[in-house]
C-alpha cells in the first residue's frame, strides 16, 4: 500500500510539476470516501453494487 501511494504521489508530482500540489490532492480522497459513506448511512442506502462502483469512481477522480 505504501509503495503504491508513493508511485501515485510521484506520478502526480510529474503531472503537476510541483511537490506541493499532490499532497492536498491525495489527502482529499479519504475525506471524500468517508463523506460518501456517511451520506449513505444518513440516507439508509446499502452498500450495493451501484454504491461500490460510485465509491471506486470517486476515488479515481
Task: Determine the pLDDT at residue 46.
Answer: 85
| Full-model pTM | 0.69
Q: Are 12 and 25 in contact (CB under 8 A)?
A: yes
- Between the alpha carbon of residue 3 and those of residues 20, 37, 47, the distances in Å are 19, 26, 28
- pLDDT at position 59 over 90: no
Tell me which residue range forms the domain holding 25.
2-60
CB atoms inside a 10 Å sphere around CB 54: 13
The whole-number pLDDT of residue 1 equals 81
Strand positions, DSSP E, the chain: none
When divided into structural domains, the chain yields a total of: 1
Residue 12: the pLDDT is 92
pLDDT tens-digit map of 5-56: 899 999 999 999 999 999 998 899 899 999 999 999 999 988 889 989 988 9
Amino acid at each position: 500500500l505504501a509503495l503504491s501511494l508513493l508511485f501515485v504521489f510521484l506520478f502526480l508530482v510529474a503531472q503537476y510539476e510541483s511537490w506541493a500540489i499532490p499532497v492536498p490532492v491525495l489527502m482529499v480522497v479519504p475525506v471524500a470516501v468517508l463523506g460518501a459513506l456517511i451520506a449513505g448511512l444518513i440516507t439508509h442506502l446499502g452498500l450495493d453494487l451501484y454504491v461500490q462502483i460510485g465509491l471506486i469512481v470517486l476515488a479515481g477522480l
